[in-house]
Structure 1
Amino acid sequence: MTARRIRRSARLIVLDPSERVLMFRFDVAGRPPFWVTAGGECEPDESFEEAARRELLEETGISADPGEQIARTTPEFVTVEGEPVQADERYFLVRVPEPSISTDCHTALEQQVMTQHRWFSLDELGGWHEALFPENLAKLIEMARPS
């Protein structure tokens, strides 16, 4: 058995003033639709923080400091290109003043598979009819709230 490649990525939990989180719906041939936070793979010499800043701008049009890492997950999955990977995902929380984004900088692949975006309330995360990743997103948001 061949070891899976480690896929380093920065994920962004983008919250609007109503505490709704931005999610993107992926429609990939041969798979059920699923929703994920903004973010993506780090470039070879890029830090997680640098990737978070770049991915935030590319996927949402928002230029902001992603702040400190708030969580890390290491799921195994198959990428949209069909590669099985072992992920090393670092999460950053970004609060935005309004629920408005631009998808103008999406790559051709992103335009093809990222078919929708939506702002989810915490209540909606628990009972949504399609898969949401990370599965513990509501808990990550709760843990990141100021005490």
Structure 2
Amino acid sequence: MSARQPRPAARLLLLDPLDRLLMFRFAADDRPPFWATAGGGCDPGESYEAAARRELLEETGFDLDPGPQIARREVTFVTLEGVPVFADERYFLIRTATTEIATHGHTELERRVMAGWRWFTTAELADWPEKIFPEDIVDMLNGLAVCAS
């Protein structure tokens, strides 16, 4: 395997009025389906905050202020494009008044691998049969004391 590439990324903890978290389901040919928070890699020279706002708009259609970073994780994985990365993920907590998202801003890759989306309670996340990323999302949300079960 080649050396891991650095991947700065903005991840979004997007909560609806019922404190449910938006997650996207990914279905790729090289791995079992999994769910992940909205968000993605920073463009070259882009701040985490700017990436959070851009990713939110692209993936949901919401043009909202992401506010300050509330969590950080460093993880390694292989991207859907097959690139091994060392990810520096910054998390932003965003609340929305509506659950209707717009996916017209998805990239070609996202249109190909994002097989759906839904709003999850923490209880659903804790007992979901498919893989959830980040794996400690329930602990992360409980630590913030922002989600209802």
* TM-score interval, smaller chain: over 0.9
SS at match of 1:74: strand
Deviation sequence 1:45-69 (CA, Å, 0-9, x none): 0000000000000000000000111
In the alignment, what sits opposite 1:33?
A: 33
Q: C-alpha displacement at 1:140, in angstroms?
A: 1.7
In 2, the alpha carbon distance for the partners of 1:93 and 1:40 equals 15
In the alignment, what sits opposite 1:104?
A: 104
Q: C-alpha displacement at 1:139, in angstroms?
A: 1.8
Q: C-alpha displacement at 1:145, in angstroms?
A: 3.2
Q: C-alpha displacement at 1:83, in angstroms?
A: 0.5
Tell me, yes or no, if structure 1 residue 11 matches structure 2 residue 11.
yes
- In 1, are the aligned partners of 2:28 and 2:80 still within 8 Å (CA)? yes
- In 1, are the aligned partners of 2:53 and 2:65 still within 8 Å (CA)? yes
Structure 1 ranges of 4+ moved more than 6 A: none
In 2, the alpha carbon distance for the partners of 1:114 and 1:15 equals 19
In the alignment, what sits opposite 1:87?
A: 87
Tell me, yes or no, if structure 1 residue 128 matches structure 2 residue 128.
yes
In the alignment, what sits opposite 1:58?
A: 58
In the alignment, what sits opposite 1:72?
A: 72
SS at match of 1:75: strand
In 2, the alpha carbon distance for the partners of 1:109 and 1:73 equals 24
Q: C-alpha displacement at 1:121, in angstroms?
A: 0.6
- In 1, are the aligned partners of 2:10 and 2:91 still within 8 Å (CA)? yes
**132-141 or 30-39: which moved more?**
132-141
In the alignment, what sits opposite 1:140?
A: 140
Q: C-alpha displacement at 1:2, in angstroms?
A: 4.9
Q: C-alpha displacement at 1:107, in angstroms?
A: 1.0
TM-score by structure 1 length? 0.95
Tell me the amino acid that sits aligned with residue 21 of structure 1. L
CA RMSD of aligned residues (A): 1.2
Tell me the amino acid that sits aligned with residue 38 of structure 2. A
In 1, the alpha carbon distance for the partners of 2:28 and 2:72 equals 25
- In 1, are the aligned partners of 2:10 and 2:41 still within 8 Å (CA)? yes
Aligned sequence identity (%): 55
- Give the gaps of 5 or more residues in structure 2: none
In 2, the alpha carbon distance for the partners of 1:109 and 1:3 equals 23
